[in-house]
Amino acid sequence: MRRHAPFFAIFFTAIAIIMSIGAFFLAMGMLEAWRGHASLAWPAVEGRVIESSLARLNRRTGTGRRGSGASPEWTPRVRYEFEVDGVRYESERVDFMTRAGGRIAAEDELRGLETGATVTVRYDPHRPTLAVLRPGNGPWDWIPPLAGVMGLVVPPAFFLLARRWIRIEQRVEKVSAMRRRNARRVDGSPRSGA
Protein backbone atom coordinates (compact mmCIF):
# COMPACT_ATOMS: atom_id res chain seq x y z
CA MET A 1 0.00 0.00 0.00
CA ARG A 2 2.93 2.33 0.69
CA ARG A 3 4.11 2.27 -2.89
CA HIS A 4 0.66 3.50 -3.95
CA ALA A 5 0.76 6.43 -1.49
CA PRO A 6 1.77 9.04 -4.12
CA PHE A 7 -1.00 7.77 -6.39
CA PHE A 8 -3.58 8.13 -3.62
CA ALA A 9 -2.31 11.60 -2.66
CA ILE A 10 -2.73 12.85 -6.23
CA PHE A 11 -6.00 10.97 -6.61
CA PHE A 12 -7.47 12.42 -3.37
CA THR A 13 -6.45 15.93 -4.41
CA ALA A 14 -8.09 15.52 -7.82
CA ILE A 15 -11.22 14.03 -6.22
CA ALA A 16 -11.46 16.91 -3.74
CA ILE A 17 -11.18 19.49 -6.54
CA ILE A 18 -13.70 17.76 -8.82
CA MET A 19 -16.16 17.20 -5.98
CA SER A 20 -15.87 20.86 -4.91
CA ILE A 21 -16.67 21.96 -8.44
CA GLY A 22 -19.52 19.43 -8.54
CA ALA A 23 -20.95 20.75 -5.27
CA PHE A 24 -20.76 24.31 -6.63
CA PHE A 25 -22.58 23.38 -9.86
CA LEU A 26 -25.21 21.42 -7.94
CA ALA A 27 -25.83 24.23 -5.45
CA MET A 28 -25.95 26.99 -8.09
CA GLY A 29 -28.07 24.92 -10.46
CA MET A 30 -30.57 24.06 -7.74
CA LEU A 31 -30.66 27.68 -6.54
CA GLU A 32 -31.37 28.99 -10.04
CA ALA A 33 -34.01 26.30 -10.64
CA TRP A 34 -35.67 27.12 -7.31
CA ARG A 35 -35.61 30.87 -8.05
CA GLY A 36 -37.04 30.25 -11.51
CA HIS A 37 -39.90 28.23 -10.06
CA ALA A 38 -40.51 30.73 -7.24
CA SER A 39 -40.53 33.68 -9.66
CA LEU A 40 -43.82 32.45 -11.13
CA ALA A 41 -45.55 33.54 -7.90
CA TRP A 42 -43.65 36.82 -7.36
CA PRO A 43 -45.55 40.11 -7.53
CA ALA A 44 -45.42 42.01 -10.83
CA VAL A 45 -44.87 45.71 -11.52
CA GLU A 46 -44.39 47.74 -14.66
CA GLY A 47 -40.84 48.60 -15.64
CA ARG A 48 -38.91 50.24 -18.47
CA VAL A 49 -35.90 49.00 -20.45
CA ILE A 50 -33.02 51.48 -20.07
CA GLU A 51 -30.46 49.63 -22.21
CA SER A 52 -30.65 46.73 -24.65
CA SER A 53 -27.77 45.29 -26.68
CA LEU A 54 -25.96 42.17 -27.83
CA ALA A 55 -22.58 41.41 -26.25
CA ARG A 56 -20.03 39.42 -28.22
CA LEU A 57 -17.77 37.03 -26.34
CA ASN A 58 -14.84 35.31 -28.06
CA ARG A 59 -14.16 31.73 -26.96
CA ARG A 60 -10.92 29.98 -27.92
CA THR A 61 -11.41 26.64 -29.68
CA GLY A 62 -9.03 23.88 -30.73
CA THR A 63 -5.47 23.29 -29.68
CA GLY A 64 -2.15 24.35 -31.08
CA ARG A 65 -1.27 27.28 -33.29
CA ARG A 66 -3.10 26.23 -36.41
CA GLY A 67 -6.01 24.47 -34.71
CA SER A 68 -6.98 27.30 -32.38
CA GLY A 69 -9.34 30.08 -33.24
CA ALA A 70 -11.96 32.35 -31.76
CA SER A 71 -15.56 31.22 -31.86
CA PRO A 72 -17.93 34.15 -31.18
CA GLU A 73 -20.75 33.74 -28.70
CA TRP A 74 -23.51 36.24 -28.30
CA THR A 75 -25.39 37.07 -25.14
CA PRO A 76 -28.24 39.53 -24.63
CA ARG A 77 -27.60 42.47 -22.27
CA VAL A 78 -30.69 44.17 -20.89
CA ARG A 79 -30.87 46.74 -18.11
CA TYR A 80 -34.26 47.83 -16.84
CA GLU A 81 -35.72 49.93 -14.04
CA PHE A 82 -38.80 49.47 -11.91
CA GLU A 83 -40.32 50.82 -8.73
CA VAL A 84 -41.47 49.01 -5.58
CA ASP A 85 -43.10 50.98 -2.73
CA GLY A 86 -41.70 54.25 -4.07
CA VAL A 87 -38.11 52.92 -4.30
CA ARG A 88 -36.44 52.74 -7.73
CA TYR A 89 -34.50 49.58 -8.61
CA GLU A 90 -32.45 48.43 -11.59
CA SER A 91 -31.77 44.88 -12.74
CA GLU A 92 -30.20 43.06 -15.67
CA ARG A 93 -31.72 39.60 -15.24
CA VAL A 94 -33.97 38.56 -18.10
CA ASP A 95 -34.66 35.03 -16.82
CA PHE A 96 -33.28 32.16 -14.73
CA MET A 97 -32.85 29.85 -17.70
CA THR A 98 -29.68 28.10 -18.82
CA ARG A 99 -29.29 28.58 -22.55
CA ALA A 100 -27.13 27.54 -25.43
CA GLY A 101 -27.15 29.38 -28.73
CA GLY A 102 -25.54 31.86 -31.06
CA ARG A 103 -26.41 35.29 -32.38
CA ILE A 104 -29.89 34.36 -33.66
CA ALA A 105 -30.90 32.95 -30.27
CA ALA A 106 -29.55 36.06 -28.51
CA GLU A 107 -31.46 38.33 -30.91
CA ASP A 108 -34.63 36.34 -30.21
CA GLU A 109 -34.06 36.94 -26.49
CA LEU A 110 -33.98 40.71 -27.13
CA ARG A 111 -37.21 40.75 -29.11
CA GLY A 112 -39.65 42.99 -27.23
CA LEU A 113 -36.89 44.25 -24.93
CA GLU A 114 -35.71 47.22 -26.99
CA THR A 115 -34.52 50.36 -25.18
CA GLY A 116 -37.53 52.32 -23.92
CA ALA A 117 -39.90 49.32 -24.02
CA THR A 118 -42.39 48.88 -21.20
CA VAL A 119 -41.96 45.50 -19.51
CA THR A 120 -43.55 43.49 -16.73
CA VAL A 121 -41.07 42.89 -13.93
CA ARG A 122 -41.45 40.12 -11.39
CA TYR A 123 -39.51 40.73 -8.16
CA ASP A 124 -38.77 38.82 -4.97
CA PRO A 125 -40.99 40.46 -2.32
CA HIS A 126 -38.32 39.86 0.36
CA ARG A 127 -35.50 41.22 -1.82
CA PRO A 128 -36.74 43.47 -4.64
CA THR A 129 -33.23 43.73 -6.12
CA LEU A 130 -33.76 40.14 -7.31
CA ALA A 131 -36.03 40.65 -10.30
CA VAL A 132 -36.73 38.94 -13.60
CA LEU A 133 -38.57 39.74 -16.82
CA ARG A 134 -39.42 36.17 -17.85
CA PRO A 135 -40.31 34.03 -14.82
CA GLY A 136 -40.08 30.25 -14.70
CA ASN A 137 -37.55 27.68 -15.82
CA GLY A 138 -36.23 26.61 -19.19
CA PRO A 139 -35.58 23.26 -20.87
CA TRP A 140 -31.79 23.37 -20.23
CA ASP A 141 -32.00 24.11 -16.49
CA TRP A 142 -31.34 20.50 -15.49
CA ILE A 143 -27.80 20.56 -16.99
CA PRO A 144 -25.90 22.41 -14.18
CA PRO A 145 -27.40 20.28 -11.36
CA LEU A 146 -26.77 17.11 -13.38
CA ALA A 147 -23.14 18.16 -13.93
CA GLY A 148 -22.90 18.78 -10.19
CA VAL A 149 -24.27 15.33 -9.34
CA MET A 150 -21.82 13.75 -11.79
CA GLY A 151 -18.99 15.68 -10.15
CA LEU A 152 -20.03 14.33 -6.75
CA VAL A 153 -20.70 10.71 -7.76
CA VAL A 154 -18.12 9.82 -10.43
CA PRO A 155 -14.85 10.60 -8.53
CA PRO A 156 -15.71 8.41 -5.49
CA ALA A 157 -16.74 5.61 -7.87
CA PHE A 158 -13.33 5.85 -9.59
CA PHE A 159 -11.66 5.83 -6.17
CA LEU A 160 -13.50 2.67 -5.14
CA LEU A 161 -12.53 1.01 -8.43
CA ALA A 162 -8.88 2.02 -7.98
CA ARG A 163 -8.86 0.75 -4.39
CA ARG A 164 -10.42 -2.54 -5.51
CA TRP A 165 -7.79 -2.89 -8.28
CA ILE A 166 -4.97 -2.27 -5.79
CA ARG A 167 -6.36 -4.86 -3.36
CA ILE A 168 -6.62 -7.44 -6.14
CA GLU A 169 -3.04 -6.62 -7.12
CA GLN A 170 -1.91 -7.08 -3.50
CA ARG A 171 -3.67 -10.46 -3.25
CA VAL A 172 -2.02 -11.62 -6.48
CA GLU A 173 1.38 -10.54 -5.10
CA LYS A 174 0.77 -12.44 -1.82
CA VAL A 175 -0.28 -15.59 -3.65
CA SER A 176 2.79 -15.33 -5.91
CA ALA A 177 5.07 -14.84 -2.90
CA MET A 178 3.54 -17.87 -1.15
CA ARG A 179 4.00 -19.99 -4.26
CA ARG A 180 7.66 -18.94 -4.52
CA ARG A 181 8.22 -19.80 -0.83
CA ASN A 182 6.52 -23.17 -1.25
CA ALA A 183 8.57 -23.88 -4.38
CA ARG A 184 11.80 -23.08 -2.47
CA ARG A 185 10.79 -25.40 0.38
CA VAL A 186 10.03 -28.23 -2.01
CA ASP A 187 13.28 -27.71 -3.95
CA GLY A 188 15.47 -27.21 -0.86
CA SER A 189 14.08 -29.89 1.49
CA PRO A 190 16.14 -33.08 1.95
CA ARG A 191 14.63 -36.14 0.35
CA SER A 192 13.68 -38.83 2.83
CA GLY A 193 14.60 -42.47 2.27
CA ALA A 194 17.89 -41.76 0.49
Stretch 169-192: mean pLDDT: 77
Q: In what order do the strands lie in the sheet with 44-61?
A: 87-91, 69-84, 44-61, 118-124, 127-132
In the chain, where the domains are located: 1-40+139-182, 42-135
Stretch 151-169: mean pLDDT: 83
Quote the pTM value.
0.59
Beta carbons within 8 Å of 37's beta carbon, 6+ residues apart: 136, 137
Q: What is the pLDDT of residues 111-144, one digit of tens each?
A: 889 999 999 999 999 999 999 998 988 776 777 7
Higher per-residue pLDDT: 81 or 148? 81
Residue 41's pLDDT band (boundaries 50, 70, 90)? very high
Higher per-residue pLDDT: 94 or 71? 94
pLDDT at 71 over 70: no
32 SS3 class? helix
Q: What is the pLDDT of residues 8-19, one digit of tens each?
A: 778 788 888 888
How many H helices and E strands in the chain? 4, 5
pLDDT at 63: 54
Length of the chain: 194
- The C-alpha atoms of residue 44 and residue 125 are separated, in whole angstroms, by 10
Neighbours of 90 (CB within 10 A): 13
3-state SS, one letter per residue, for 91-148 = ECCCECCCCCCCHHHHHHHHCCCCCCCEEEEEEECCEEEEEECECCCCCCCCHHHHHH
pLDDT at 45 over 90: yes
Highest mean pLDDT among 33-42, 79-88, 92-101: 79-88
pLDDT at 194: 47
H/E element, 14? helix 5-39
